[in-house]
Amino acid sequence: MSSQNASPDTLLLVFIHGFRGNDFTFKDFPERLRTVLTNSIQALDVESIVYPQYRTQGELHEATVAFCDWLVSAARDRRQAQGPNGRILVILVGHSMGGLLAADAVLHFHDKLPLHNSGPMATNSSDLRELDATVLGLVAYDTPFYGLNPSLITDTALQRASQATAQVSNYLPALGVAVPAVTSFFGSSQTTTARAAETSPSTGSKWSAGKWGALAVGGFVASAAAAAVTYSQREHIQKGYEYFTSHLSFVGALFRNQELHQRVDQLVALEEVVFCGFYVQLEKPTVPVRTFIQLPPAKTKHYFYPLPSPAEDEIEGHVTIFKPASNPHYYAMGDTTFAILIDAIKKHRESTK
């Protein structure tokens, strides 16, 4: 369809939260992006849509199928409202594991990843094309495309688990309950100092005019202590255990190394799709540098932008990336994101003239 249609194109910016995220993960970031894009590109109606909170349980594949069904439905609604003229452009924006879900959706709609579902809503990769809609970009924030940084296990996770244990130890004596001897399982960690990492672009901006296991271990410490309170709560504890293991299935995608590498390789091979990722890197001078994600290999490093963070640890930096008060590079991140989105839109329009 020609770009000279009387009706403007529609851009859907779709934001997808990660593990245990919610509708407020991105704060006001979606609206900021919508505003600057609306004021910068002619003949383009921009919508920022936060994909409704979904259950981060079961396999990642299941969540991807549900998301693709939802996206096709959203595009169909826009097509009906817009009429036959004008294209529907889609750019996915993911935080944490939401970026992995988004990547699989991109591959699916570009015929690289078939999705199979026994339910009535399984989408075909051609469903968007039939609506004259296309996914032309993916921007991800602190998404572990290559897995989690191993230091989260040896340092941050154990530190957080020890903190959780201390909290439980302080609480249970008031109930007259013996505290399980769990603190001995967690040792102290050491870090060596070195040169801080290279910083990202200047924070001057037009916008201004560990590991999952860390949480899991902390949860298990609390559950173990709670179990000591009363045996009568065993059924609730069993349900909690089942709840936890179902979440483990979701994050299991982070430990399938070959699949992780293959996903990114296929993604960057799509010439018609613009891709980039931002990741938090602690400002503390350490060797190696402290990041939430496993750093990308040399061949794909240029797709990723570090965001120096003053956070106490990687998890804090990860969950506060969309808070300007906690992320001093928030506005620079916004400017760079804006430039990437503009590039994706212009690239698509040039290729479809």
Q: Token match 């591959």: residue?
A: 107
- What is the number of other CB atoms lying within 10 angstroms of the CB of residue 19? 18
Q: Any residues with CB less than 8 A from the CB of 338 and at least 6 apart, and which?
A: 33, 36, 37, 40, 207
| Extents of the domains making up the chain | 9-148+256-351, 151-255
Structure tokens that stand for 295 in this block: 């750093």
pLDDT at 287: 82
Rg (CA), the chain: 22
pLDDT at 168: 45
Longest dimension (CA), the chain: 75
- CA dist list (Å): 27 to 22, 34, 147, 162: 10, 13, 25, 30
CA distance 151 to 286: 11
Q: How far is CA 295 from the centre of its chain?
A: 15
pLDDT at 216: 47
Do the Cβ atoms of 87 and 8 come closer than 8 Å?
Answer: no
Could you say which architecture CATH assigns to the domain 9-148+256-351? 3-Layer(aba) Sandwich (3.40)
Does this model's pTM top 0.85? My answer is no
Do the Cβ atoms of 147 and 140 come closer than 8 Å?
Answer: no
Q: What are the pLDDT tens digits along the chain (353 aa)?
A: 444 445 789 999 999 999 889 999 999 999 999 999 999 998 899 999 999 998 887 789 999 999 999 999 999 999 999 888 899 999 999 999 999 999 999 999 999 988 765 555 556 778 899 999 999 999 999 999 999 998 876 656 555 555 544 544 454 444 444 444 433 333 333 333 333 333 344 444 445 444 444 444 444 444 444 444 444 444 544 544 444 444 567 788 998 999 999 999 999 999 999 999 999 999 988 888 999 999 999 999 999 999 999 999 999 999 999 999 999 999 999 999 999 999 999 999 988 87
pLDDT at 116: 67
Q: What is the DSSP letter of 273?
A: -
* Paired sense of beta strands 304-309 and 274-282, if any: parallel
pLDDT at 55: 82
Residue 314's Cβ-count burial label (10 Å; 0-12, 13-18, 19+) is buried
pLDDT at 201: 41
For residue 52, list its beta bridge partners: none
